[in-house]
Chains A and B, each alone.
Chain A
Amino acid sequence: MDALNNLVGGFAHVLGGGAVFHALWATLIGIIIGALPGLTATMGVALLTTLTFGMGPDKAMLVLVCVYVGAIYGGSRSAILLNIPGTPASAASTLDGFPLARQGLAGRAMGISTSGSWLGTLFGTAMLALFAPSFGEFALQFGSYEMFWVALFGIVIAGSLSGGDPLKGYIAGFIGLFVATVGQETNHAYARFSFGDGDLAGGLGLLPVLVGVFGVAEVLSAMRGPAVKAVSSKIDSVIPRIRDVTAYWKTILRSGALGTFIGAMPGLGEDIAAWTSYAAAKRASAEREKFGKGSIEGLMAAETGESACVPGAIIPVLTLAVPGSAPAAVLMAAMMIHGLNPGPMLAITAPEFIYQIVAMLVIADMVKMFYGLVLVRPLLWVLLIPRERLMPVVFVLCTVGAFAITSRLFDIWVMLGAGLVGFVLRELRFPMAPLILGIVLGELLDKNLLRGLVLSGGDITPFFTRPISMGLCALTLFAAAWSIPGAANLFRWRRKVAG
């Protein structure tokens, strides 16, 4: 009953003071950002964080949640119409979305995308409302030792699973952790790696680094190589068909559950959620041969999975202060900027905030559905904007975003440096999610390791002997071992022998 009251209270709180207006414009911007190839949800949330500095925390979070939800959905537009995923999350949607469009069913494909995405976010939001409060209360038992393992587990799991090459994932994660150590540390206020420079002593701002890695690096990537040829397509009706939903309800539930679960795993994100949901749907489908040739079930699975991942990725943000995806990492940074304190203490300091986030997600989902039905042709025009005209504007917005938080020109240089490093690492096939997770989790890991050592008087055994610590340590080691070539096969072989 308390939960229901809190939920009603959450909606009442969020819906006041022009919330619908903010939700409308923010979701629209999110969809446009997601639809434009080269602009990602992470970049969108990072850039829009700048705009929210002057807002109250609740309005700011509503705007950013709407951008996040909108951008993940918007990526499917270009995936269906251009065969180019607007965001990495929509890559799986190209497999069946574009073939459907080529068959003259672009409108139906967009209807499937809209209904799948809407249901996915709704499913994930229900899971968030159900599990985040109780998980948050459980997380109150976590001390410094446990939080250290949570942070390390985040890096390891993101490194293992977020790209093709776990080794490069780990390296990217540890580079991120190193970046987070630049500047004054908390115990002795010693400025690490500052070389006597006052700006470096203040540390590398999270937002300038994120804007650099996801904004500047993407501008450089987009300007390299031939321009994308926009293809116009005849659009049939985009109204979702009830039959498309009822016929694949099992797929929707499975993809929703998978998407939410993958979202809740640190650093994995929407693209992996979409691919996993797609693969699971293909395995279970009676129409397997249609996958890749315009399967409605395949598109539904990918869209539901990626959209369910959004609320899933917010669950660990609220309960552990560990982001489930790259855009959620930026969202978490924005929460901190706005004085909200995500993590285990949230269950005590502001338990109602979890339900406010639930309300925000539901509002964003409804607005997304609305735009999905009415905004088809204008979005087609947006897709036709040439990159030569779009990218310099994005670069200008990146510069504003990097500067605005502390008004230091130094942050613009940080953005440029991070952009260059991010671009080079991307070219060398280093995944970006572990890098970002490392930067975001760096302080958590650093602070809790040293605090734990101080509390135990230098004894490291509590890191391994406390019950939850032990479990988290085992999980971390297992995740690391799993990525060693041969270890996973060995495990499977043993299971086979035992079976």
Chain B
Amino acid sequence: MSEADAPSPFAGEKAPASPRADLVTAAVLFALGVAIVIQAWQMPRFVEQSGTGLTAPGIVPGFYGVVIALLSVVLGMRAAARGGWAVRGNSRSAASDRRQLATAALLGLLYAGVMVGRLPFWLASALFVFAFTAVFEWEQGPQGRVRRVVEAALIGLGTGLAVMLVFEKLFLLRLP
């Protein structure tokens, strides 16, 4: 059994991330930690105001940055010991999973990032819920598709109006 095939040292119901993924994560986190330290170092110290400089705004985030960088080194070393350099981690997700995830993320981004604030909230919400439901139910085959699309439109409209009524009229909250 190669090192990469060895069972993970960690218990838990979910499989651990692959050594390769941990190695890449460690590199990203190390960069984040170093960036935090650099930013914290460049912050003003306010020595004249405090007398000691111990209230400098950069002290605490700088400490966090150092810890994140150090822990990421440990994560990287552990991943390397588990074969992170040599083994390409097997992708756990199938192509259909990735497509579904990308579709959900794209629709969410379009809704929250583009439509909200530009369209009336009830309309943006109705369009989003309709599009989301219709797109994901499209793959269920041609049988009953028209009924599903009509139902999606009704769910979308119902959601948009219900959210407006409940939040804006009943609970007196401002909507985007």
Contact = CB atoms under 8 A, between A and B. Distances in A.
Specify whether A and B are partners: yes
Interface of A: 50-51, 53-54, 91, 163-165, 167-168, 170-171, 174-175, 177-178, 181, 185, 187-188, 190, 192-193, 216, 219-220, 223-225, 386, 388-389, 391-393, 395-397, 399-400, 403-404, 407, 409, 412-413, 415-416, 419-420, 427-429, 445-446, 449-450, 453-454, 457-458, 485
Contacts of B109: 416
A485 B9 contact: yes
Given A416-B109, A428-B17, A450-B54, 19 more contacts: A91-B13, A165-B16, A167-B74, A167-B78, A171-B75, A178-B65, A187-B55, A192-B57, A224-B104, A389-B133, A391-B132, A392-B128, A393-B129, A399-B112, A420-B105, A427-B17, A428-B21, A429-B16, A454-B50
Would you call the interface of chain B mostly helix, strand, loop, or mixed? helix
20 contacts: A51-B166, A165-B16, A170-B71, A174-B67, A220-B101, A220-B104, A224-B93, A392-B129, A392-B132, A392-B159, A400-B173, A404-B173, A404-B175, A409-B176, A416-B108, A419-B108, A449-B59, A450-B54, A453-B54, A454-B54
A428 B55 contact: no
Interface in B66-88: 67-68, 71-72, 74-75, 78
A397 B163 contact: yes
B173 to A, nearest CB: 5
Contacts of A429: 12, 14, 16-17
Contacts of A403: 116, 174-176
A11 B64 CA distance: 44
Contact of A174 (B68, B116, B172): B68
B117 A409 contact: yes
Contact of A190 (B13, B43, B125, B167): B43
Contacts of A175: 68
Contacts of B111: 395-396, 399
A164 B43 contact: no
Nearest to B176: A403
Nearest to A177: B64
Contacts of B60: 181, 445-446, 449-450
B153 interface: no
A171 B173 contact: no
Interface in B115-135: 116-117, 125, 128-129, 132-133
Contacts of B55: 187-188, 450, 453-454
B44 A190 contact: yes
A388 B100 CA distance: 11
Given A192-B57, A450-B55, A51 B167 contact: yes
A363 B113 CA distance: 40
B97 interface: yes
A263 to B, nearest CB: 21
B52 interface: yes
Give the 5 A-B residue pairs with the shortest CB-CB distance, closest first. A164-B12, A392-B132, A223-B104, A388-B136, A164-B10
Contacts of A392: 107, 128-129, 132-133, 156, 159
B157 interface: no
B97 A416 contact: no
Contacts of B133: 388-389, 392
Nearest to B158: A393
Contacts of B49: 188
Interface in B1-59: 9-14, 16-17, 21-22, 25, 29, 36, 39-40, 43-44, 46, 49-50, 52, 54-55, 57-59
B172 to A, nearest CB: 5
A416 B10 contact: no
A485 B136 CA distance: 45
B50 A181 contact: no
Contacts of B159: 392-393, 396
B61 A388 contact: no
A428 B25 contact: yes
A396 B129 contact: yes
A475 B78 CA distance: 26
B77 to A, nearest CB: 10
A53 B71 CA distance: 39
Contacts of A181: 60-61, 64
Contact of B72 (A171, A220, A386, A445): A171
Given A190-B57, A409-B116, A219 B17 contact: no
B16 A164 contact: yes
Contacts of B50: 187, 454
A412 B67 contact: no
Given A53-B171, A164-B16, A388 B137 contact: yes
A219 B108 contact: yes
Contacts of A446: 60
A453 B58 CA distance: 14
B128 A395 contact: yes
Contact of A53 (B39, B78, B125, B173): B173
B61 A192 contact: yes
Nearest to A224: B101
Contacts of B64: 174, 177-178, 181
Contact of B176 (A163, A224, A399, A427): A399
Contacts of A445: 60
A193 B104 CA distance: 30
